[in-house]
Amino acid sequence: MRPVPTILHLDMDAFFASAEQASKPSLRGKPVVVGGLGPRGVVATASYEARVFGVHSAMSTAQARRLCPNAAYLTPRFSLYRQVSEAVMELLRELSPLVEPLSLDEAFVDLAAGPAPPATASAAREAGERLRTAIRARTSLTGSVGLAGSKMLAKMASEQAKPDGLVVIEPGTERELLAPMPVRVLPGVGPATAEQLRRAGIGTVEEMAGAGEAELVRLLGKAHGGSLYALATGRDDRPVVAERDSKSVSVEDTFDVDLHDRTRVYGEVMRLAGRCVTRLRAAGRSGRTVVLKVRRYDFSTLTRSETLRGPTDDPGVVREAAVRLLDGVDTTGGVRLLGVGVTGLADFTQEDLFAQAALEGTAPAAPAVRARTGPGGDEDAEAGTRPDRPGEAAGEGVAAAQAALAGDAGDVTGAREGSRRWHPGHDVRHAEYGTGWVQGSGLGRVTVRFEQPWSEPGRVRTFRAEDPALEPAAPPPLVRRDGGPEPGRSGGREPGPPGGQAPDPAVRPEPSRPGASSSPSGSSASSP
């Protein structure tokens, strides 16, 4: 163990929801829930104001609406979250080259590897406080910081510090701190391991340490038991690793309504394969094994995989492989989730010429490719035939998928407001009123609140969903970098009321242009 608490763990507070509140002045201090808004949506993050009502991450959005019906329910804006995350990670790398990101909003930092390693606990605390101040100045958001002599304890410290705090665990106090805690606080202790320990009369970390290493090895095996004994006694020598090598890249979508149309399913698989390759290329990687995940109407989940002749990042090759895998899956009962992934990652490509030729329709008949199942899946199936449509060639499935992807076989992305879909929370720009965000939509109308992070709470106006003056926009920065006029504002055309108070929703000003009104006429998807 280190004699100085030089392992720092940063966890941003309610990251997605806090970013939305910082971006939207009218939502500050109010409950905000970010996640999927459909019938099968799941909460990604809830603001602390929403957590008071019992809303939490991984809860179904339907249940969250029952607990907190007056919250603002917003669709995630990952472009904004990545922008903020990059700014935070840049600040962490100024402290030390050893930064281990765990997600967009969480990372470990080894201060001992930095240009000015702290020699005392008080110096480490000062570094943590400077970091929190810098994050607030750069992003206007808050983060909780934990400092300790190990990764496990630093993460525990940041949990204790939430929200917007800093906790230092002094080296030498680890066992005293851990003793009364339940065994589930230790990394590697899940429900099954905890139940096994409970049956042996072990419920706390102190009881685990008191049982001794030999007893834990007897109960859990040599590797698992030995590592848990070390953690129970406060020993954690895991280093901060700057580069974490990804083992796979994947994307998946859960659909509001089960998909029954086979052509629609093919189109969705093609779309997901394209998104997967986009992520693969963004990471500068290629992959050799294409994986298809299908969750059917009865919640049974099938996994199929095909290993190519070499690693690739060609979207056509990945799409062709994904479609071949889909040919071996019966989807007649309905599909609630689809996913496409690539594993066996590499830093080079070796194109599968057979797959490319098949996609272009120029290859001779190739041997059937076996589509293997994952654990619990069905038996292997020949990918050259369609078990649900006997006699239909796989190539026809490719053609149907390509047609669906091009829009020739119907809409493959779900119900829309005409040809445009407005997601609650997303940024828009109006030719006359400037920059704002979608507050809700429905019945052919879209309601927009015109405000920016540095403005007063803005006015609300409603437009036709097909209004040509309204278009999607990029998220504005959370903190202004200049002292000039606010971008996206039309000379103060829509100033907020004095004192920064939001306008009274009961007051309905006269529309200032044809097709626009100052109150929503459709059903709003959010309730700020």
How would you list the strands of the sheet with 43-46, edge to edge? 43-46, 32-35, 72-74
- Residue 321: both structure tokens together: 């492989």
| E strand or H helix at 80 | helix 78-95
Cα–Cα distance between 434 and 451 in angstroms, integer? 9
Classify residue 275 by burial, with Cβ atoms within 10 Å: 0-12, 13-18, 19+.
Answer: middle
Measured between alpha carbons, how far is residue 359 from residues 27, 318, 338, 362, 395 in Å? 49, 10, 21, 8, 8
For residue 274, give the amino acid letter.
G
Whole-angstrom distance, CA of residue 288 vs CA of residue 431: 47
CB 364 within 8 A of CB 286: no
Active-site residue identified among 20, 100, 106, 451: 106
Strands (E), 246-333: 248-259, 286-296, 301-312
The one-letter amino acid at 526: S
CB-based contact 34:20 (threshold 8 Å): yes
- Rounded Cα–Cα distance for residues 270 and 276 (Å): 10
- 86 catalytic? Reply is no
Q: Is 2 helix (H, G, I), strand (E, B) or coil?
A: coil
Residues 135 and 106: beta-carbon distance below 8 Å: no
Compute CA distances 365 → 164, 362, 369, 417, whole Å.
63, 10, 12, 43
Which residue's structure tokens are 């199936």?
381
Cβ-proximal residues to 334 (8 Å cutoff; 6+ apart), any chain: 258, 259, 260, 296, 297
User: Residue 262 and residue 266: Cα distance in Å, rounded?
Assistant: 6
What CA–CA distance (Å, rounded) separates 48 from 53? 9
How far apart, in whole angstroms, are the C-alpha atoms of residue 6 and residue 147?
Answer: 7
Q: Which of 109, 327, 284 lies closest to 319 in space, CA to CA? A: 327
The letter for the amino acid at 425 is G
Catalytic residue ranges: 106
